[in-house]
Amino acid sequence: MTRYIIRRILQSIPLLFIISLILFLLLNNIGDPLTMMGGRNPTRPDDRARLARQLGLDKPVTTQYLYWLIGNDWTMIDVDGDGIPDIPGERLGVLRGDFGTSIVTRGKPVSEIIWDRIPNTLLLMVPAQIFILLFGVIVGVYSALRQYSWVDNAVTTLSFVGFSMPIFLIALLSIYFFSVLFQRWGLPNLPANGMFDPRVGKTAGQVAKHMILPLFSIAFIDIARYSRYVRSAMLEVMSQDYIRTAKAKGLKRYYIIFIHAMRNALLPIVTLVGLDLPFLLAGAVVTERIFAWPGMGRLFLDHLQRADGPVVMGIVMILAVFVIFSQILTDIAYAALDPRIRY
């Protein structure tokens, strides 16, 4: 097992290397971040040249990638362009935990910018995942136990609607219904954007209230998907011989369902959760945009649109590491839960 884990970790190194290379080549050509740096006036040509040299943007892509990877504190930077090196480089490189500095927000470290936003995204995503899991299992098990009943048929149809639903449609519909129409009808209505009412301040109650609609939108789509997986897993387990044996022994129905069937049916769901968790972080891009939620997705969009390579690179690399990490963790969890699996 330990050997397997070590092998997986070693395998992920070239993978991350390829990912970073692909992304770096793409992000190197997404636009000119220096245009915005003059503030309201266009950047002056000589400022531009100086900034490019200072930020290392005048170097070839390979050198820039190298700087990104291992830093440039071992070289000197020629800031004024007279051929004589002036100041030592200060970047440490990703391998030493330095994601560089943002170009848009003038030298603020990328890691700091991202860390500021991660809690907000997690605040939305962790409860969302819990809801999805909880309701996905309840709905899936219920409809499996009543296969082909009208409830089951309704759930199956609805789950197709759920995972065919573009997230902005469910978000807009829920805003229109719960916040616009409820207000019009004089009912207690839900806030549709931001994290808190600025007049009240960032209190727990306010944040919770602002979370409801984005949570609902995210959960709606994934509950649909999860319930389908749970349903088919549960159906398969319920037709196994050992369940028939349990029934023949005269065990109580709830005992069979909860102790014998569900434990095995939920095993594949572990994989699903593990593989989905990082993508949930990613799925927030559209939701965060609609609900003006200050999370990672919005950070990504804002900085991508302003061609801020280092921040975008940082976000996607952190996500990629997270994806790989949770894949390995999923495999370990699966092996721990299912004694039939040996690595």
Partner 1 sequence: MSVLDTPVDAKIPDIGLESPPLSLSEMAWRRFRRHKLAIASSFLLLFLILFTFGGALIYSEADANFNDTTKRLQAPTAEHPFGTDTIGRDILARTIYGGQISILIGLTAVIVQVVVGVIIGAISGYYGGWLDSLLMRITEAILTIPTLFLLLVMAKFFSGKVPDLNFFGRTFSGSVVVIILIIGLTSWPRLARIVRAEFLALKENDFILAARATGTSNTQIMFKHILPNTVAPIVVTATLSVAGAIIFEAYISFLGMGVQPPTATWGNMITGATTYIEYAPWLWFFPGVLILLTVLSINFVGDGLRDALDPRSRPE
Binding site for partner 1 (CB under 8 A): 14-15, 18-19, 22-23, 26-27, 29-31, 157, 160-161, 163-169, 172-173, 175-176, 180, 192, 229, 232-233, 236, 268, 278-279, 281-283, 285-286, 289-290, 300-301, 304-305, 307, 312, 315-316, 319-320, 323-324
Distance of closest approach, residue 87 Cβ to partner 1, in angstroms: 31
Closest by CA to 24, choosing from 309, 252, 250, 285, is: 309
CB of 252 to partner 1, least distance (A): 27
Asked if 91 and 99 count as a contact pair (C-beta separation under 8 A), the reply is no
Q: Which two tokens stand for residue 17?
A: 């290397």
CB nearer partner 1, residue 56 or residue 314: 314
Distance separating alpha carbons of residues 81 and 283, to the nearest angstrom: 44
In whole angstroms, how close is the CB of 182 to partner 1 at the nearest point? 12
User: 171-181 as b/e, with b when 16 or more CB fall inside 10 Å?
Assistant: beebbeebbee
Task: Please tell me whether residue 293 adopts helix, strand or coil conformation.
Answer: coil
Give the span between the Cα atoms of 92 and 69, in whole angstroms. 8
Give me the least distance between CB of 66 and partner 1, in Å please: 20
What CA–CA distance (Å, rounded) separates 340 from 334?
Answer: 10
Q: Which is nearer to partner 1, 122 or 320 (CB)?
A: 320
Query: Smallest gap, in angstroms, from Cβ of residue 77 to partner 1?
Result: 27
Nearer to partner 1, 71 or 155 (CB): 155
Give the CA dihedral 263, 265, 267, 272, nearest 10 degrees.
-140
Query: In this structure, what are the phi and psi dihedrals at residue 252, rounded to the nearest 5 degrees?
Result: -65, 150
CB closer to partner 1 out of 193 and 203: 193
Of 72 and 219, CB closest to partner 1 = 219
CA atoms 104, 106, 109, 114: torsion sign: negative
For residues 29 and 203, which CB has a smaller minimum distance to partner 1 in the complex? 29
- Residue 59: count of CB within 10 angstroms of its CB: 16
User: Which H or E element spans position 257?
Assistant: none
Residue 14 or 198 having the CB closest to partner 1 = 14
Q: In angstroms, what is the minimal distance from the CB of 81 to partner 1?
A: 29
Question: Least separation, in Å, of the C-beta of 21 and partner 1?
Answer: 9
Q: What are the structure tokens assigned to 208, written together?
A: 């919770």
